[in-house]
Structure 1
């Protein structure tokens, strides 16, 4: 579970670094200029210019994506500054359990104190929950230099709600706990609507925690079919309102287009984290990229665009049908390129997280429907590998096998529905 929060803290740390840099007007101006893709548009490589023209015709350039994103409704803010986000992320990480969403007596007391000390934050979260519609608005014109503070806010809200839900459940308030779990899912769902692949992955990690909490709700003696109905409805809304990975991949491509321009503009060192820089320096890659000619970077960019175009088209299919071809396709990228070593390095894992996230929610929806005597939803097999879900009933419980060893198989208490 800590993977999700390490990402949250990383985002906050990056926001601090980027925010400091953007107070330099010259630096900010260069970042804005990169969004127009001046180097790629004027490239001597005709295939690269052709790629840019086709992406422009499809409305996928950074400035086009930025304009479309800005048309959405404003995402609610928790009114936090960067250091608060970083501190809250670390605190929430410390209190979030791993395999089960329960606390021992000592930790529960600490969580209660934390919630009391952060009552204003929870009040803001409750108010903002009612205003959730679209997702956070990415500023594609800033590429990887976007502070993305709203992502941190969404993650903080989702996890704070789960902590409050756990305390309510410990006090036999299953109704309140179910409401908090449903609200946490709503924040993660909003996060997943952002056209960035990393936000979809982060949403999946947060929803995995919410699903653990949903399991615990059903095992409370105070839980009734009303709570199961609420949790099931929240999951169906989450699943039925979800689009595929095409839009996040289009957003990923727009951000990387901006990044190639940033490299051409001499901003390579500002594109990577300190941890990435250490690893890349050991392999001599940072030095190679700093000294690369403009033509070399353009060739690198062309290789990226050809590969990401293939990925975007394949994303319409279940991952089980194209996971291996994806790995094989990325192996064809030249070693030592920005495309292979930086921009595609984590993409397969991020996409796997997104598919696993859907499988977890589908399995939980099947389990809740079975546990509460509801009509089964139309989810039959794991979209990541094509393995059918399997329900195993034992007296007072039902366990749903997800079909993948890396995934938790949820188990819910069966609650008889009252006779009308």
Structure 2
């Protein structure tokens, strides 16, 4: 059989033309149909989906903080909220295993314990699957919520730092140098003492007891001996800090308020949240500045005052991991920034890098974000919440008495704190037996 190319030319030409036409049609339709990410409907947008969320939130607060935004974004989404009742981490883990929620919203303390129990999904896997660019998020948040093996089992759309405000006019009038970033507590208390007897309150926003707790956290003090499992208070550390606090508290020089004295120009320094900034900008009564909160002088680049109150996690046994992750992504999207800022904990900031310096009147907060996020536990990670709360009450009562009556030395204070703490600790040990 002979093959003649000349005889096939017309058919070849027709085939080429048809191929070109089909290719053009494919390209045109392909640009506006399923291959477009802009018009592609996600599962949450296109179908009715019920997501079970486990958290400590009461319904009204969950919907105010997050739920109303999610329902507005996903009209077909149904949220089933289950409030946690577990009093211990073991009880919480058991509840999660029984309920099998799709999403868990938890606090920093419980998150660490859940993380250690290995009951959470590695979110970096879901982020990679969804092509999410993690570089758009606050690196400090990502680093602090990873476990020791580098697994990212939690993420937060908001960060809430504490900061130190100072009244420049009052410092200038009294010829005192301004506070600076990454000061130690000793350095800040020294500035506070400089205003004693000046007619101006030195420091607001903290009590003597909460200052002592902040010092202990920043320096990582541990009051439980790891070897003997008995209480141990380093006398030099504790008495030195207690003395600085007593000296700074003379004549009402430390006042615990929400910032009113500072707003009125009657306090030199205020330890508080970023929620004070709009009020300062509105009043515009004096010149002021903001710096980072005090740190351990041996680790000045680490802050223990950067908080992630609501940490979102997906349990390993969740049946709708992709849907739960889509909800997390929605709260991390720039469209959610304004809603979260107006409806969440006052003083919070989006963890999207693009917005971290633009949400509070353009005030430069870069010094805060340049710090590493500390992970120190308070007193000892194995102590119960009940012990810590009662211990704080003891410290508050002892220091308040010492300041009001001026009849106790720093060593007297420490001895009394230790004596009462030992009784409390014995109760703690007995309850665990």
Same fold (TM over 0.5): no
Larger radius of gyration between Structure 1 and Structure 2: 2
Taking structure 1 as the reference length, the TM-score comes to 0.26
Structure with more strand by fraction: 2
**Bigger RCO (CA 8 Å, 6+ sep):** 2
Structure with more helix by fraction: 1
Taking structure 2 as the reference length, the TM-score comes to 0.25
